[in-house]
A = this chain, B = another copy of it.
Amino acid sequence: MKIAIMGFGVVGSGIGEIISTSEDSLEKKCGEAIEIVKILDLRDFPDSKFDCFTKDFNDILNDPEIELVAEVMGGTKPAYDFTKQLLLAGKNVVTSNKELVAKHGTELLQIAKDKNVNYLFEASVGGGIPIIRPLYSSLVSNELTNVIGILNGTTNYILTKMIKEGETFEDALKGAQDNGYAEKDPTADVEGFDTCRKIAILASLAFGKYVNSEDIQTEGITKIKLEDVAYANEFGGVIKLVGMAEKTENGVYAGVCPLILKKDHPLSGIDDVFNGILVRGEGLGDVMFYGRGAGSLPTASAVVSDIVEITKNKGSHIELGWVKGDDGYLKPLGNQSFRFYIRLKGNANSADFCREGFNVITLDGEKYADEFAIFTPAMTMAELEEFKASELSDYTILGCIRLANE
């Protein structure tokens, strides 16, 4: 099978590396050789072992021999137009482009179906961790109810440094940038946008209807202080940035936010740049997937696994079970009840909260002298606002984080 790669960055070059070094074993697995015949990139790569570079997308689109294209350019422009044209031309597309899948997945999957080709995106979530295919394949006979994941390695690295080494958010971010784990502009990571796209994709697959990432309430980790880490620790928990989605009797909700996980929660031990994804289903119980969520070769290997999958399913469309959602399908995260951790400063009288359903935590040391933290009973966002108005008006709220439901 002749294929093309669009984008020769870390993932694209990783795909080239895997395909050229595993030629024989891939041919055995696919039943035919995989040959890279075109690579689209605006840059020049004079030292590359490949000599099939082009700067013109039409060289790929109009080559009838190319049956499959790996789109690893990232972003939606021009990736969206390119992908659409390729699918319409009857070519298979595999991608690691979470932004594009989260935004236009429904439309692109429909085109792939109409044209009896495939649009696969195992690499869009969790790097080399197999999670997309298990959701549409292995776990397909379960009614899934929950997906919750640590989906962004950069923020998990930062939080781990804060928790384990007492670094401030700012210092940990700088360390992550120095180590190449965070970009110069870390917004997409630390504000939760990357996690948001990934949980949108997972929720769309797990529950079968499209969840628009733009409708998902998203909160990052920039406001997390070492004091919050200390109170969480005293409570027996750790703070993690999670994407979560749940199917309840009242509908589907999804959100991205810092969450305090008790230390017996399966995701609580996922540290550093690792990702972990917990899937819960009726009957199934909890299943967790864990691994390095990024990196050139893991991500590229996931793209290549999609290429292999397509060679094994030539001439047929693999149904992922992801269709357009109804209006109002996604409910606001605020409707769902959680316990809240709230750090309070002021004329502290923690005894007010020593009552059923609450936990009160005070810490030793001068810096904690004028403050304390409470864990409220489970409440919706509206109930939280009411509670703040009625009982917390005398305090300054220094921090507020959800506690994971059991």
Do B309 and A284 have beta carbons less than 8 Å apart? no
Do B137 and A305 have beta carbons less than 8 Å apart? yes
Given A291-B286, A313-B313, are A304 and B141 neighbors across the interface (CB < 8 Å)?
yes
How many copies of the chain does the oligomer comprise? 2
Given A130-B139, A141-B18, A290-B288, are A298 and B312 neighbors across the interface (CB < 8 Å)?
no
Give the Cβ gap from A52 to chain B, nearest Cβ, in Å. 20
Do A138 and B142 have beta carbons less than 8 Å apart? no
Do B138 and A302 have beta carbons less than 8 Å apart? yes
**Which of B28, B129, B137, B297 is within 8 Å of A283, CB to CB?**
B297
> What separation, in Å, do the CA atoms of A133 and B301 have in the docked complex?
16
Closest to A266 in B: B290
Do B298 and A291 have beta carbons less than 8 Å apart? no
Q: A25: CB under 8 A from chain B?
A: yes
Interface of A is mostly: mixed
Task: Tell me the A294-340 residues at the B interface (CB within 8 Å).
Answer: 295, 297-298, 300-302, 304-305, 307-309, 312-313, 318-319, 321
CB-defined contacts of A291 to chain B, threshold 8 Å: 284-288
Task: Tell me the A251-294 residues at the B interface (CB within 8 Å).
Answer: 266, 269, 281-292
CB-defined contacts of A141 to chain B, threshold 8 Å: 18, 22, 26, 29, 301-302, 304-305, 307-308
Q: A228: CB under 8 A from chain B?
A: no
Q: A346: CB under 8 A from chain B?
A: no
Q: A99: CB under 8 A from chain B?
A: no
**Which of B14, B28, B292, B321 is within 8 Å of A321, CB to CB?**
B28
Task: Tell me the A326-374 residues at the B interface (CB within 8 Å).
Answer: none
Q: Quick one: CB contact mask for A127-141 with B, threshold 8 Å, 1 for yes?
A: 011100110011111
CB-defined contacts of A139 to chain B, threshold 8 Å: 128, 130, 301, 305
Give the Cβ gap from A62 to chain B, nearest Cβ, in Å. 28
Closest to A315 in B: B316
Q: A143: CB under 8 A from chain B?
A: yes
Do A285 and B292 have beta carbons less than 8 Å apart? yes
Given A22-B143, A285-B291, A285-B295, are A318 and B312 neighbors across the interface (CB < 8 Å)?
yes
Do B266 and A281 have beta carbons less than 8 Å apart? no
> What separation, in Å, do the CA atoms of A29 and B140 have in the docked complex?
8
A-side residues, CB < 8 A to B, are 14, 18, 22, 25-26, 28-29, 31, 122, 128-130, 133-134, 137-143, 266, 269, 281-292, 295, 297-298, 300-302, 304-305, 307-309, 312-313, 318-319, 321
Known contacts A129-B287, A269-B269, A287-B292; 14 additional CB pairs below 8 A are A29-B319, A128-B139, A128-B142, A128-B283, A133-B134, A133-B137, A137-B309, A139-B301, A283-B297, A284-B297, A285-B292, A286-B292, A288-B289, A289-B289
